[in-house]
Chains A and B, each alone.
Chain A
Amino acid sequence: MGRKLPLALFAIGAGTFPYCVQRVFLATPIERQMGTVQKIFYFHVPLAWIMMLLGVVCGVAAALQLRRGSRTAEAVAISAAEVLLVAGLGVLITGPIWGHATWGKAWTWDARQVSTGLLWLIFAAYVLVRHYGGVGSERLAAALAIFGAIDVPIIYYAVKIWKTTHPDNNVVGSLPPEMWASLWPCLGALVAMSMGLLLIRTRHEKTEMMLDDGWVQIEDLARESADKDKS
């Protein structure tokens, strides 16, 4: 089941996505004020939610890694950060396209835009530290991920505490039923794809850890036998 779950998730994503595109572009009414460009909302918002969810997952997993030394948590934190970078890239590409069409400017240095960009940068730093940090840097990276997770509520409340041009958090709640009917499949498809990627990458990371352990054991044995030969 464990091995088949990512494949099942990818299958759900692949099956639902064409239906999403059909629903968004052919079955959902065009928004009166923004026009056709509002269709990007059905991909931008789910990606942003996934990005924030993965930020929290990475932060919690990093805290578990730091406090309990859990290898699985460490693998989940690494994979969540990497999938977050992909989802974040989607948010940071679709957002400015939408902004350019509605505000006349792709990037307005709006509080939510800035905090989303910063969240992406923090997790990019996390991935960099994990890859190039050397021995012991996994603790440092874990702390970085925890601070990244703290940035998530800042993003959520940014539109409330600062004056921004970004739509506030109530917009999604006030959508008409036919728009919700398009948002749900998009969210489902993108969540399924992200979770599939997360599971596969986690398994890959755990395999890499086991291989590392194996190599360390071989090195230790080789060193021991060399010491014996000397004596």
Chain B
Amino acid sequence: MLVRQTWILARNDLRQEMRDFELVATAGFFTLVVLVMFGLSFSSLGRHAQPMAVPGILWLAVAFVGSLTLTRIFDRERESDTLRALLSAPVDRLAIYAAKAMVTLLVLLGCCAILVPGLVLLFDAAAPFAERPLATLCLVVLGCTAYASIGTLFAAGLSTSGGKNVLLSVILYPLTSPALMFALVATRTLIDGHPGFDAYLSQLVALDILQLAVSGWLFESVVIGSNAAGGRRRPSTRKD
């Protein structure tokens, strides 16, 4: 039931996206711009420095694009006030979270399809991405899942509260940093050909499971609040 509802909701979002490709086009273009900017800044790095720079470039670009994607996904809902309608519909709240996280993940993976070949083209140190495509795919999927799992929860929470969008960056960057740190270490081991790559990948899997579980558990409380939590009312006229 949950899987079916998730699929229906995700398909609805994807169908909406297929009509104008707004999200894919803007996020894809932004990825390209970030890639060119990183290329301009770091292309002159020496052979020894490049392997240390490439993982950072990859995951920083994912963080920037992810923030843009999450803002846009929930802006749509906010503009037409459809998230409120969705939350009052007889749909499992976990399915709403899973659908949004899935769409975010798909957009991020689409951006990585530009980012990873771009890095291979611009930096010699990124050649292991092309030499070990399956390992790269696993790494990118797990890293993006870690980002999307947390990002979706907070972007949804922000869209239903009175918070400003700028807060998403304030929340998202420190909070996704542990996940990006795990992904960064794993990418470095992939580039270095380190035998511990599989172990680092398993750590990333554990982190993904933990983050998905906690985010799924918190989604309803964050987006609509628990029955017990009445929410704190603040006076409109009182000046501190």
Contact = CB atoms under 8 A, between A and B. Distances in A.
Given A114-B181, A212-B234, A65 B229 contact: yes
B1 interface: no
A212 B238 contact: yes
A124 interface: yes
Given A69-B230, A125-B175, A139 B157 contact: yes
A125 B210 contact: no
B161 A124 contact: no
Contact of A139 (B181, B203, B225): B225
Interface stretch (A29-37, A85-93, A145-153, A173-181): A145-153
B167 A67 contact: no
B178 A69 contact: no
Nearest to B218: A143
Given A66-B221, A125-B175, A139-B222, A150 B232 contact: no
A212 B233 contact: yes
Given A140-B157, A140-B158, A215 B237 contact: yes
B228 A69 contact: yes
Contact of B178 (A128, A154, A161): A154
B170 A212 contact: no
Interface string B22-39: 000000000000000000
B163 interface: yes
Interface string A131-158: 0111111111011101100110010000
User: Which DSSP category, helix, strand, loop or mixed, fits chain B's interface?
Assistant: helix
Contacts of B223: 139
B12 interface: no
A136 B228 contact: no
A129 interface: yes
A221 interface: no
B161 A68 contact: no
User: Which DSSP category, helix, strand, loop or mixed, fits chain A's interface?
Assistant: helix
Contacts of A154: 178
Contacts of B160: 136
Interface residues of B, number: 40
A5 interface: no
A209 B170 CA distance: 25
A219 interface: yes
Contacts of A67: 221, 226, 228-229
A10 to B, nearest CB: 26
B178 A115 contact: yes
B123 interface: no
B10 to A, nearest CB: 22
Given A65-B229, A66-B222, A162-B185, 20 more contacts: A66-B226, A66-B229, A67-B221, A69-B225, A132-B167, A133-B161, A133-B163, A135-B234, A136-B163, A136-B231, A137-B163, A138-B232, A139-B223, A139-B225, A142-B222, A143-B154, A143-B218, A147-B150, A147-B175, A219-B237
25 contacts: A67-B226, A74-B232, A115-B178, A115-B181, A121-B177, A122-B174, A124-B174, A129-B163, A133-B162, A133-B167, A134-B162, A135-B233, A137-B158, A138-B231, A142-B221, A143-B222, A144-B171, A144-B175, A147-B150, A150-B210, A161-B203, A212-B233, A212-B235, A215-B235, A216-B233
